[in-house]
């Protein structure tokens, strides 16, 4: 009886999925939204959602976390060029916070971290799924009130008492339109705008097999 060879020809090595790390500056809305998007794209892109280091985190502390994430990816992955680290930073309505965020952005030049600002807050991105507006808002509470009103009109359901508990899966089919709205308002530097569309668009481009 002849001995059969135990050699097994190895199959093709599966290319690792690109990684997009999203470091949030609040632990509720942005975390909930990107956690839902993570589920949506999990077979094409690995989205890592990182909570802020503390409640009321400063721009510098969020960027520090983002830098640490980028350094860890560089150590652990050989395909560093296919991975991206984003820091989401709200400008709020206070001049001192806006000044701090602008200075923090200037200090990351030459690093592997990209920043997406929102003026005044991330909820501008949520609102863009429903209405095309760059109107001025007094503060984040005013933006949230608009989100709740439009959520009810467009989706026929309540937004909910807690921002983190809203059903963000309902927004996923609307995100392409939100991207286009936000591009225009940021380009014009309208009273309210967000750069979160850059993060979402980069993820969707990777899903479509783009660069």
Is residue 23 packed enough to be buried (19+ CB in 10 Å), middle (13-18) or exposed (0-12)?
buried
CB of 37 closer than 8 Å to CB of 88: no
What does the pLDDT average to over 91-103? 73
Q: Which residue has the higher pLDDT, 210 or 44?
A: 44
Reported as a single tens digit per residue, the pLDDT across 131-152 is 999 999 999 999 999 999 999 9
94 to each of 29, 57, 118, 145, 172, how far by Cα in Å?
20, 15, 13, 19, 31
- 3-state SS, one letter per residue, for the chain: CCCCCCCCCCCCCCCCCCEEEEECCCCCHHHHHHHHHHHHHCCCCEEEEECCCCCCCCHHHHHHHHHHHHHHHHHHCCCHHHCEEEEEEECCCCHHHHHHHHHHHHCCCCCCEEEEEEECCCHHHHHHCCCCCCCCCCCHHHHHHHHHHHHHHHHCCCCCCCHHHCCHHHHHHHHHHHHHHHHHHHHHCCCCEECHHHHHHHHHHHHCCCC
Above 70 in pLDDT, residue 163?
Answer: yes
Q: Which two tokens stand for residue 194?
A: 């967000």
Q: State both tokens at 83.
A: 């991975």
Task: Please give the model's pTM, rounded to 2 decimal places.
Answer: 0.87
Q: What percent of the chain has pLDDT over 90?
A: 64
């Amino acid at each position: 009886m002849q001995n059969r060879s135990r050699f097994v020809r190895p199959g093709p090595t599966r290319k690792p999925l690109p990684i997009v790390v999203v470091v949030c500056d609040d632990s509720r809305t942005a975390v909930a939204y990107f956690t839902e998007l993570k589920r949506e794209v999990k077979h094409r892109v690995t989205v890592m959602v990182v909570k802020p280091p503390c409640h009321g985190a400063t721009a510098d502390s969020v960027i520090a976390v983002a830098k640490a994430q980028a350094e860890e990816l560089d150590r652990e992955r050989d395909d560093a060029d296919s991975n991206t680290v984003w820091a989401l930073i709200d400008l709020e309505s206070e001049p001192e916070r806006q000044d701090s965020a602008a200075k923090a952005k200037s200090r990351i030049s030459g690093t592997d971290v990209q920043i997406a600002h929102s003026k005044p807050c991330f909820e501008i991105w949520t609102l863009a799924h429903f209405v095309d507006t760059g109107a001025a808002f007094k503060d984040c509470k005013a933006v949230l009130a608009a989100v709740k009103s439009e959520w009810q009109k467009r989706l026929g359901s309540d937004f909910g008492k807690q921002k983190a508990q809203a059903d963000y899966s309902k927004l996923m089919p609307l995100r392409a339109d939100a991207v286009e709205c936000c591009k225009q308002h940021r380009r014009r530097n309208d009273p309210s705008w967000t750069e979160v569309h850059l993060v979402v668009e980069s993820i969707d481009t990777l899903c479509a097999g783009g660069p």
